[in-house]
């Protein structure tokens, strides 16, 4: 029943129909309730059969399969809830505190086609962690598969990725980084978080502006730590790409999107674009002004992270062109990437506006390349040069040219709309196409 509700909710939410989307939102409560009780309280104290007969092996396989299925359903619900938070600007109903169930196993074990193959792989896993074959399922799973809460803690603190985690678990870790960063954002965005407790009576400020999070040292430390963790995950993903002769897998898309989520004011960018195109919820002038201010600050004062974000936005274009799987989340990923590139091209300072730090490194400039192709795989060294010295490099995109040229923002919107139009399987893509296309038309007129 939980699987059926999950698949039905995805279909309702991403079909592009308003009424069905509202039904999907109501069904979120049922799905999150599954994670609150049946999922977290399911028994895991299973034991392997003492014998090795075909009947015993088949019984073990079915018992394990039911346990693993329950875990995967619960984590799929958790993942979808997290995705909705940045797809629709709604608050997540689940958090890392709900993710205490062991993570899903590696795909090779889950996709075993027979009990015999499963048993062989299972015993191999046991031997690799120096255990005997007479171990409780719960003990084995805790060693082989930590919970998401434990895995994200290890990733943050030890900068280490558990070798037993499969691709499903690594995608979950990407979204766990979102959850933790949002927790920090929510705390620091509260007015009282910027107040130092004192016994003396004080006046409440008559007007409190939205805080500029990148200017808060604690937030910067957490964001940098999240980026370090993403680097660890990306290294692992690149290793898989190498084994597969350059073929990119779906995890790569989530890793590119993660930099857009963590390194851009994506909510302000999307609201501003929707407001300009007249396709979003109505906003007053003060709200529009605040969103524009956030985006301008990002492009000018958070420029190193801004340039890193658009590198990943550009390479996401490449990934979708060559390795799309028509996932329901791809249209949202393309929308965020397109709007991030548009915002950078629109609001970034002029290339002639070079800071004092840049002026001190004239000798280095002669070694710096003059441009970078954002929608092509690039050498890490060139990417780092662009992040550090991007004010003196042209950001090129196929079919656009220089992103920061006078027509660059309009052209990148047209390129993004073409990519979105190639995802016809999900109705939400039509909405994203309409938004990007109308914004491009308005910019062209002005």
- pLDDT for the residue numbered 205: 74
CA atoms within 13 A on the CB side of 90: 16
Tokens of 65: 């399969």
- pLDDT for the residue numbered 39: 80
Q: Is 422 left (phi over 0), alpha (psi -120 to 50) or beta?
A: alpha
- Whole-number Å distance between alpha carbons of 398 and 67: 48
Sign of CA dihedral 402, 408, 411, 417: positive
- Whole-number Å distance between alpha carbons of 323 and 359: 41
Q: Is 89 left (phi over 0), alpha (psi -120 to 50) or beta?
A: left
Model pLDDT for residues 15-37, shown as the tens digit of each residue: 999 999 999 998 998 898 888 77
Q: Is the pLDDT of residue 358 over 80?
A: no
| Mean pLDDT over each residue of the chain, to the nearest integer | 87
Section 332-358 average pLDDT: 79
Model pLDDT for residues 205-227, shown as the tens digit of each residue: 776 677 889 999 999 999 999 99
- pLDDT for the residue numbered 135: 54
- Whole-number Å distance between alpha carbons of 288 and 282: 10
Q: Is the pLDDT of residue 42 over 80?
A: no
Q: Which helix (H) or strand (E) holds 396?
A: strand 394-397
- Whole-number Å distance between alpha carbons of 238 and 74: 28
Q: What is the largest CA-CA distance in the chain?
A: 77
Q: Is the pLDDT of residue 352 over 60?
A: no
- Helix H segments across 129-192? 137-144, 148-158, 167-189
Whole-model pTM: value is 0.91
DSSP 8-state code for residue 213: G
Strands 394-397 and 401-402: antiparallel
- Whole-number Å distance between alpha carbons of 339 and 272: 10
- pLDDT for the residue numbered 360: 41
Res. 46 pLDDT band, cuts 50 70 90: low
- Whole-number Å distance between alpha carbons of 24 and 6: 10
Res. 64 pLDDT band, cuts 50 70 90: confident
Q: Is the pLDDT of residue 133 over 60?
A: no
Section 55-74 average pLDDT: 89
- pLDDT for the residue numbered 356: 40
Model pLDDT for residues 247-260, shown as the tens digit of each residue: 999 999 999 999 99
Q: Is the pLDDT of residue 446 over 50?
A: yes
């Amino acid at each position: 029943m939980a699987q059926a509700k999950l698949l039905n909710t995805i279909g309702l939410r991403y079909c592009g129909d308003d009424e069905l989307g509202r039904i999907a939102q109501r069904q979120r409560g049922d799905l999150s309730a599954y994670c609150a009780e049946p999922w977290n309280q399911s028994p895991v104290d299973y034991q392997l059969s003492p014998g090795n007969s075909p009947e015993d092996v088949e019984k073990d396989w079915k018992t394990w399969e039911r346990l693993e299925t329950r875990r995967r359903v619960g984590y799929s619900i958790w993942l979808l809830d997290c995705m909705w938070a940045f797809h629709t600007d709604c608050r997540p109903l689940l958090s890392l505190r709900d993710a205490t169930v062991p993570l899903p196993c590696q795909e090779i074990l889950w996709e075993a086609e027979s009990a015999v193959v499963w048993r062989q792989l299972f015993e191999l896993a046991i031997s690799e962690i120096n255990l005997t074959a007479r171990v409780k399922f719960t003990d084995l799973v805790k060693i082989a598969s930590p919970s998401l809460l434990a895995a994200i803690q290890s990733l943050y603190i030890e900068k280490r990725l558990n070798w037993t985690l499969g691709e499903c678990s690594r995608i979950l870790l990407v979204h766990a980084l979102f959850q933790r960063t949002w927790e920090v954002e929510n705390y620091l965005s509260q007015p009282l978080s910027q107040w130092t407790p004192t016994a003396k009576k004080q006046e409440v400020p008559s007007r409190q502006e939205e805080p500029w999070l990148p200017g808060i040292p604690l937030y910067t430390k957490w964001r940098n730590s999240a980026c370090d963790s993403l680097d660890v995950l990306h290294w692992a993903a690149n290793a898989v790409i190498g084994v597969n002769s350059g073929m990119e897998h779906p995890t790569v898309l989530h890793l590119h999107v993660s930099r857009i989520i963590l390194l851009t004011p994506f909510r302000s960018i999307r609201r501003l674009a929707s407001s300009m195109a007249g396709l979003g919820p109505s906003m007053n002038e003060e709200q529009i002004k605040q969103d524009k201010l956030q985006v301008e600050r990002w492009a000018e004062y958070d420029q190193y992270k801004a340039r890193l974000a658009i590198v990943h936005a550009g390479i996401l274009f490449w990934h979708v062109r060559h390795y799309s799987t028509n996932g329901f989340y791809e249209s949202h990923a393309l929308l965020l990437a397109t709007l991030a590139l548009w915002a950078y091209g629109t609001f970034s300072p002029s290339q002639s506006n070079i800071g004092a730090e840049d002026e001190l490194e004239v000798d280095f400039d002669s070694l710096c390349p003059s441009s970078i192709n954002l929608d092509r795989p690039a050498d890490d060294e060139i990417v780092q040069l662009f992040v550090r010295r991007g004010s003196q490099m042209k950001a090129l995109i196929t079919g656009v040219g220089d992103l920061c040229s006078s027509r660059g923002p309009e052209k990148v919107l047209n390129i993004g709309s073409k990519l979105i139009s190639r995802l016809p399987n999900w109705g939400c893509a039509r909405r994203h196409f309409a938004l990007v296309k109308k914004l491009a038309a308005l910019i062209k007129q002005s």
